[in-house]
Amino acid sequence: MKFIKTFAAFAAAGAVSMSASAGVTTVGFVGAGAVAAQGPLGLITTNYTEAGYRFSPKCHLDFRTQPQAGPLFADNAAIGWDVSGCEQYFNSNYLGQPGSTDVYVDHGGALFDLVSLIGMTQDFSGGSGSVRSSKGGYAWISVPGEGLINQAFVGDEWKDVEWIAFGAYGGIPPWFLDSVTFNAVPEPATLALLGIAAFAARRVSRRRESAAA
Listed by start position, the domains of the chain span: 1-22+187-213, 23-185
Quick one: pLDDT band at residue 9, thresholds 50, 70, 90? very low
Among candidate residues 168, 174, 176, the one with its CA nearest the CA of residue 90? 168
Task: Summarize pLDDT for 139-173 with one digit per residue, the tens.
Answer: 998 877 767 888 999 999 999 999 999 998 877 78
Band (pLDDT 50/70/90 cuts) for residue 111 is: very high
pLDDT at 203: 59
Ranking 62-71, 77-86, 204-213 by mean pLDDT, the lowest is 204-213
Residue 64 pLDDT grade (very low, low, confident, very high; cuts 50, 70, 90) = confident
Contact 40, 82 (CB under 8 A): no
Between CA 131 and CA 102 the distance in angstroms is 9
Burial status of residue 203 (CB atoms within 10 A of its CB: 0-12, 13-18, 19 or more)? middle
- Whole-number average pLDDT of the chain: 81
The CATH number assigned to the domain with range 23-185 reads 2.60.120
